[in-house]
Structure 1
Amino acid sequence: MAAYLRQLKGKTGRSYDALAKRLGVGKSTLHRYCSGEGVPPRFTLLEQFAKECRASQAEIIELHRRWVRAQTVQLPEAESGADQPAEPPEAPLPPSPESPPPAKRYPPFLRNRRTWWTLAGLAALVMGAVLIWRPGQDFIADAETAHLCTERSGVKHVDARQGGHVWTRDFVCANRPDTPLYVNVGSTEKIAVLDTPKSWFVCWELGRVQSDGGRVWYYTRGDRSEPGKERWEGWGFVGAEHVDATTHPLPNMPRCDQ
């Protein structure tokens, strides 16, 4: 991903400082992403970067593919403390044109005729269940899961605000777009914004009372910094009133002071 970012930047001739000002981030932050020392928490920043570099739609799609891979690959640091990322597996060589096509082989459990009939019967049952599904039931299921947050482990969020502390667990929840982040739980100083409708959060703390009467605040990293607030690199607190969950604070989420 970092190599691809440098390739896009090289087409423009623009400096890191110039691009960082256009993107609303610090020069050091942008340089860290382009040197492979970090991965942006959300793709919004990279998409803006690519557009500033006049990337084509195909190049933006390729950049997104590499960003997804960088986000999902389990880094050795999360498991054994190593600093080097895991090497991607080598792609298999394509077959030689002279080689005959491989024979179609089935797993042993599918070579039995009785097994075929059993699977066919199960498929029929599933299709029957789909056909008798009453309209509206899918909306009920969606409503029941709309407020659920997903707990993830093995992630890597480098918190420059806390001296490079690495968060290896987060909670992904829906949130209102254009959600403001504040410098601390008692401040009204806006330092960043969440643009995406779903975000991750790492811990919670009690702070000033919000408009809905709640006092729970969640710690995360915004999609873009407010002008003049780049030194925080997007890290701040979001009011729980903007986070869609059945209860606050989220179950199993640690408190920020622990």
Structure 2
Amino acid sequence: MSEPSPVEDLATYLRHLKNKTGRSYDALAKRLGVGKSTLHRYCSGEGVPPRFTLLEQFAKECQATQPEIIELHQRWVRAQSTELSEAEPPAEHPAEAPSSSSSSAEPDSPVPAKGLREYLPIPRKGRTWWTLAGMAILVIGGVLIWRPGPTYRADAESSPACTDRNGVKHVDAREGGHVWTRDFVCVNLPDTPLYVDVNSTEKIAVLDTPKSWFICWELGRVQADGGRIWYYTRGDRSEPGKERWQGWGYVGAEDVTAPTHPVPNMPRCAGR
């Protein structure tokens, strides 16, 4: 019998952690702020998360111990390396390390110079561009200590610019029917979630298309890549039970491509 692939090995360990809790995919997905199908895909070996952050949160929700989180991270590194070798030419994208209550880490990197769409046509599961590099791991007295090295970024000049449009008409139900006459069209990752506000994890809608328009930007909660820029727009479809927002919400800049964040000349939501 052949050995399981690193991706299958990771999925097996994820199921092991999940089964210890007796909790459903739906319950865990809601706690993590992702779709049930997304979580099930990772646990069935159909994909590998682009960042370890989600799996670390998953493990904590499953009440995993620190050794189990470290073991999970090691399996994720092997699986991610396999995914990258199949998806693109060889390149160095060192893996990020799990956090620890006893860890000592440098501050997060500043907001990235661009979103992640520039790496298409590599699918979403292949995004590891904000993984931490140059990582030094020491075990002293049984305590894991890690320090992230420099962050890898693509050249901002290669990122497609957003198109500034005037004379458009977007009727905003959240703003009492206010009509927006200016927007900015940018490339974004499909299946991008919209949240009710910049500090919330309540998902209310989804952007299905790979290019969308955005009205303004605001600072909010930190995203997985360390950025805090959020863009206001209207999703392509509302989440079940969230129809009252009519799709209007906020998208993280990590899923929007631009030469810089916030998008040049785009107004700030708080000052509009």
TM range (shorter): 0.3 to 0.5
Whichever of the two has the greater Rg, that structure is: 1
TM-score in terms of structure 1 length: 0.44
Bigger helix share: 1
Question: What is the TM-score normalised by the length of structure 2?
Answer: 0.42
